[in-house]
Structure 1
Amino acid sequence: MKRIVFLDYVRIFACFLVMLVHASENYYGAVGATDMVGPQAYLATEEDRLWVSVYDGFSRMSVPLFMIVSAFLLTPMKEEQTMWQFYKHRFMRILPPFFIFMLLYSTLPLLWGQIDGNTSVKDLSRILLNFPTLAGHLWFMYPLISLYLFIPVISPWLRKASAKEERFFISLFLLSTCIPYLNRFSGEVWGQCFWNEYHVLWYFSGYLGYLVLAHYIRVHLQWSRNRRLVIGMVLLVIGMIWTIYSFYVQAVPGELHSTPDIELGWAFCTINCVMLTVGAFLLFTTITAQSTSQWVTETSKLSYGMYLMHIFWLGLWVTVFKQQLQLPTVAAIPCIAVCTFITSWIATKLISFLPGSKWIIG
């Protein structure tokens, strides 16, 4: 398959944003150097409140961008391909590295005392059930696997669906992304109650909406480059301001907060995050280059391995920039993210020279 240049840039951008999110999390509730924010969040100063809101809020498009890239390339699956052939091809690429890093996150931290033996044994015993204690970022793999499982199911419909039919699906998806706000301000809606979470739009909600959006953009969206630039920028700016402000207005410094409450607008399937993501993706689609530098192509190919391993490096740079150098938050967060990106790239590149490296880094 011929490489789609703008998607390489999207992958690199999204990969860096993931690291920026996790760098930011060390400023609103992380206890240890590589811990992500837990059920409760705490911002020490007004400076932390502002820059966590800005950096982390802007970066919330990272996960949906990865979803859109996968859907853009894979949907609908090839007509001559069976469901089992599709599963074999996709899962042989992502699952071996995923399980290897599950093992590494369950054992390697023993060497520097970040976890004890009991935690390691517990993590290893639960590998088939969930991600390890120190690998919270691997949550992303489960919805990605879910989308891969569903692509053969939805592909026949996507092949013959009209633009109008897809817009109807997308409209229901967009409406579903407003439900988190409705729940906050209006309580349970559309069939929700303490014994039923499956509201009327349940089957149009979640990351499946991004999958259909990606297909619609690739197949049905015939906008000119200028129109994509203008509408993409408008959606990006509105989504960005909404996403940043939704956290800032709630995250009062010096108070203990419920993380799900103050991160309401940071959920990946909220209307503002959809606007932010689609706006950014539309801007990337205006890249018309037919080729790019070797570094961009290579980094795009290495991005999966970089994502898997980056938490190992993040703690080191948190120690350097937050604890030792004590840089101001405005500088420390991007420094942590940039250095994590660079060291993850170097490590992944070195691993790529090993025989059979695809089983480790994809």
Structure 2
Amino acid sequence: MKFLALKDVSLSLLQQKVKICFNSISRNKSYSAMRIEIDGMSKLLTEICIMEKRETIGWIDLLRILACFLVVFSHCCDPFTAQFDTNRANFLTAVFSGSLVRPCVPLFVMMTGVLLFPVRMDMIAFYKKRIGRIIIPLIFWSMLLPILFFVYLNYIHPATQNMAITGDYTWRGMGTKLYTFIFNFNFDTTPLWYLYMLIGIYFIIPILNSWLEGAKKREIQVFLGIWVISLVIPYLKMLAPLLGYTGNYGNMGLFGVCDWNVYGTFYYVSGFIGYIILAYYLVKYPLAWSWKRTLGITIPLFGIGYLITSLGFLLTQKYFPGNYANLEIVWYFAGINVFMMTFPVFVIIQKLNIRSSVLLSRIASLTFGIYLCHFVFVQIAYDIWESSLPAILRIVGMACSVFIISALIVWGMKRWSYTRRLVC
């Protein structure tokens, strides 16, 4: 997800370099000293050009738009998935549709890796710029969304049939949500889990940047290989009891995880970090595959990942009824099956090498705001779209209408200086 370009910081650094160069001249420094300063400016200008070009590459804009729409589509499936056996047809439609779009968040994360590396500022400046830019939208939407849900469910449509909606929508319940976001998100602010996670990603990016700048291609490949192994751990945790594993003191964690230690063997090389490094790797070392080879690898890989995701969800629901934690394992963004779907999408869109356009860039610039505000409109759209329509038509209709409405709202907010910072 793109939050801010690096070019403004780089331009500031360039201005400092220019001042240093002219100071060198005024102090009658040697030609060699001035040459070093000029070379430094030249390199910085090159980096600025690369970053500006990266910000406007068509395939990156397309990937951001696609990832954002898939997130909206995924959330539009939730009210139907929540029906389970109450309406089996709707449930199955939502499972197969929702499973198809699981690459949504990993693609967003990979965009972070594409846009933020290399980091050309010190750690403190990076934190102030990146995390500082997220905090205000996080606070604003953490307070506004519960209010909107409260108003809608109490005064506009209290008779909603949306089975996915959970929580306390009394005055007291809403009031509690207005400050407990300092601990975590709630149902009304479900999409904001990403921002909490992203702050953690930002903490580690300057450190990763230092390693990546000196890492060899083979070293990055080794890390990615270890990360791929970590993607299988959730399934091992499900299967271990079937092989006789009883855990430690009731804790079913693996590889050193127990009640007094949550940091197991693969803890530090797992999760979304791998997607960021994978994106960096694929941009720095693009796959030199022909289209025939690309499609010959990515399409079967995506298909297998999709089958594991969709059928795995149904099998988990069958053999672990009522165990929602196990259901989520199959839909984990950092699971091997979702990775098998994410990698092909990224590689294919990267290989398309789409030209940038003003329209594409403008829509892409709205994606962060759309992500922040869309969730409440998903619930409203569920009640608006005719219930007699087939579930798949309702889901597609909801996703398209919510995406467009959210985009228009964000576009309007970006035009007003007082609200612009809340959506970008």
Regarding TM over 0.5, the answer is yes
1:8 aligns with 2:61: yes
**Are the equivalent residues in 2 in contact too, given 1:28–1:43 (CA < 8 A)?**
no
Match of 2:315 among 249, 259, 274: 249
Distance 2:262 2:134 in 1: 30
Match of 1:101 among 141, 154, 166: 141
Match of 2:189 in 1: 135
Q: Give CA deviations for 1:116-149 in whole Å, capped at 9, x if unaligned.
A: 2111221122132222441112111111111111
**Are the equivalent residues in 1 in contact too, given 2:378–2:398 (CA < 8 A)?**
yes
Alignment-mate amino acid for residue 276 of structure 2 = L
**Are the equivalent residues in 1 in contact too, given 2:76–2:398 (CA < 8 A)?**
yes
Match of 2:70 in 1: 17
1:164 aligns with 2:218: yes
1:299 aligns with 2:363: yes
Match of 1:36 in 2: none
Distance 1:54 1:113 in 2: 29
Alignment size in residue pairs? 345
Question: Any unmatched runs of 5+ in structure 2?
Answer: 1-51, 155-168, 242-252
**Are the equivalent residues in 2 in contact too, given 1:12–1:300 (CA < 8 A)?**
yes
Structure (1 or 2) with the larger CA radius of gyration: 2
* CA displacement at 1:346 relative to structure 2: 1.4
Match of 1:311 in 2: 375
Deviates more, 1:297-306 or 1:184-193: 184-193
Match of 1:235 in 2: 301
Match of 1:265 in 2: 330
Match of 2:401 among 339, 349, 352: 339
Distance 1:228 1:356 in 2: 46
Q: Give CA deviations for 1:166-185 in whole Å, capped at 9, x if unaligned.
A: 11111111111100010000
Distance 1:265 1:285 in 2: 27
Q: Give CA deviations for 1:326-362 in whole Å, capped at 9, x if unaligned.
A: 3221221111111111111111112222123321211
Alignment-mate amino acid for residue 218 of structure 1 = V
**Are the equivalent residues in 1 in contact too, given 2:256–2:265 (CA < 8 A)?**
yes
Distance 1:61 1:225 in 2: 23
Match of 1:29 in 2: 82
Distance 2:85 2:401 in 1: 23
Match of 1:61 in 2: 103
Corresponding residue SS for 1:44? helix
**Are the equivalent residues in 2 in contact too, given 1:18–1:62 (CA < 8 A)?**
yes
Alignment-mate amino acid for residue 196 of structure 2 = Y
Alignment-mate amino acid for residue 285 of structure 2 = H
Alignment-mate amino acid for residue 210 of structure 1 = Y
Q: Give CA deviations for 1:67-111 in whole Å, capped at 9, x if unaligned.
A: 000111112312xx1112212222243222222111202333333
Distance 1:358 1:51, change over 3 A: same
Which of the pair has the greater relative contact order for Cα pairs under 8 Å at 6+ separation?
1
Question: Any unmatched runs of 5+ in structure 1?
Answer: 31-41
- In the superposition, the TM-score normalised over structure 1's length comes to 0.89
Match of 1:327 among 372, 389, 403: 389
Distance 1:225 1:100 in 2: 47
Distance 1:194 1:135, change over 3 A: same
Q: Give CA deviations for 1:231-273 in whole Å, capped at 9, x if unaligned.
A: 33232222122212211333359x9522222232111111111
- In the superposition, the TM-score normalised over structure 2's length comes to 0.77
Alignment-mate amino acid for residue 355 of structure 2 = Q
Match of 1:359 in 2: 421
Q: Give CA deviations for 1:265-291 in whole Å, capped at 9, x if unaligned.
A: 111111111111111101110122332
1:150 aligns with 2:204: yes
Distance 1:327 1:222 in 2: 44
Alignment-mate amino acid for residue 49 of structure 1 = F
* CA displacement at 1:45 relative to structure 2: 3.3
Distance 2:396 2:389 in 1: 11
- CA RMSD, 1 decimal: 2.0
Distance 2:286 2:352 in 1: 16
Distance 1:295 1:189 in 2: 49
**Are the equivalent residues in 1 in contact too, given 2:302–2:340 (CA < 8 A)?**
yes
Distance 2:62 2:391 in 1: 27
Match of 2:151 among 89, 99, 111: 111
Q: Give CA deviations for 1:206-234 in whole Å, capped at 9, x if unaligned.
A: 11111111111111244235244433323
Match of 1:35 in 2: none
**Are the equivalent residues in 2 in contact too, given 1:93–1:358 (CA < 8 A)?**
no
Distance 1:121 1:167, change over 3 A: same
